[in-house]
């Protein structure tokens, strides 16, 4: 009988010890500080991509192709005269669409459609590291319209070829910023900063420099501005002791 009570007593002591250790561990595990660091930088795009479309309307396909080819030759000459190498320009296939016009009867009801000819379109794209040169060309090429060239031009897109380097640098900056913040918090609390418990990278955002663009939950990627700003955050959790 005594041995039974002795076993129960020992078991109770063990449970108390284990329970005490559990709460001590749980309390210590909660002794952390979580901070968010920011990394930002501005940079200039080093790659420009600019597109245009040659257009022609004709009663038959052969005549339409001839107009497209004549317009293409003038575009190539225009670009070459401004120092742009031929390999920087890519002309895509010619797209051909039949054109129709609606027919209505005397009562104003739709009575069918009549074939009026063909619309031909050929897209061309310029990709170059000579950003300033292509910028100037994109502003001037509309002058070909005065020569009878059917052409539509788009605004250039701007990119940066060393974006991975920018991203890695921002991660380092944001992490250092987070540690500085955490050290200040720990110091004000009379504690010391320990090892990192967890780390999470925020969304990579690229916006135009000096703009009011909003950030996106999935990440922004501005291509319309030559001058850009990149931003990233790092959320770090540190142990304190």
Share of the chain above pLDDT 70, in %: 88
**Which tens digits make up the pLDDT trace of 8-52?**
444 444 443 343 443 333 334 458 899 999 999 999 999 999 999
Coil, strand or helix at 84: coil
Q: Which domains are seen in the chain, by residue range? A: 31-44+161-240 (3.30.110.170), 47-157 (3.30.70.2970)
Whether residue 80 is predicted with pLDDT greater than 50 in this model: the reply is: yes
Q: What is the mean pLDDT of residues 114-124?
A: 95
What is the arithmetic mean of pLDDT over 142-160? 93
What is the model's pLDDT at position 41? 96
Compute the average pLDDT of residues 203-213.
89
Nearest alpha carbon to residue 56 among 141, 150, 154 = 150
Mean pLDDT score, 128-157: 93
H/E element holding 227?
strand 227-240
CB neighbours of 179 closer than 8 A, spacing ≥ 6?
A: 37, 193, 236, 238
Q: pLDDT grade, residue 4 (50/70/90)?
A: very low
List beta partners, residue 157.
49
d(CA 215, CA 221): 9
Task: Summarize the confidence of residues 99-111 as an average pLDDT.
Answer: 86
pLDDT surpassing 80 at residue 128:
yes
Distance CA 69, CA 61 (A): 12
Kindly tell me the burial class for residue 40, based on how many C-beta atoms sit within 10 Å of its own C-beta (0-12, 13-18, 19 or more).
middle
Cα(122)–Cα(149) distance, integer angstroms? 12
> How much is the pLDDT for 109?
84
Residue closest to 131 by CA, chosen among 34, 50, 46, 219: 46
**Mean pLDDT, the chain, integer:** 87
């Amino acid at each position: 009988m005594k041995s039974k009570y002795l076993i129960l007593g020992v078991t109770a002591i063990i449970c108390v010890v284990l329970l005490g250790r559990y709460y001590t561990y749980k309390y210590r595990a909660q002794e952390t500080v979580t901070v968010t660091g920011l990394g930002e930088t501005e940079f200039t795009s080093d790659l420009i991509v600019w597109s245009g479309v040659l257009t022609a309307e004709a009663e038959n396909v052969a005549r339409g192709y001839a107009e497209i080819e004549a317009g293409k030759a003038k575009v190539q000459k225009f670009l070459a005269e401004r120092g742009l190498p031929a390999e920087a320009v890519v002309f895509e296939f010619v797209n051909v669409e039949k054109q129709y016009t609606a027919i209505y009867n005397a009562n104003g009801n739709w009575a069918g459609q009549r074939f009026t000819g063909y619309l031909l379109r050929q897209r061309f794209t310029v990709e170059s590291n000579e950003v300033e040169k292509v910028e100037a060309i994109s502003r001037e090429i509309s002058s070909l319209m005065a020569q009878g060239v059917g052409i539509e031009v788009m605004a250039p897109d701007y990119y940066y070829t060393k974006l991975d380097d920018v991203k890695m640098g921002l991660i380092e900056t944001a992490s250092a910023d987070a540690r500085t913040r955490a050290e200040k918090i720990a110091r004000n609390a009379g504690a010391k900063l320990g090892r990192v418990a967890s780390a999470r990278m925020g969304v990579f955002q690229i916006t135009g420099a000096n703009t009011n663009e909003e950030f996106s939950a999935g990440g922004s990627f501005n291509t319309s501005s030559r001058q850009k700003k990149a931003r990233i955050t790092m959320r770090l959790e540190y142990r304190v002791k």
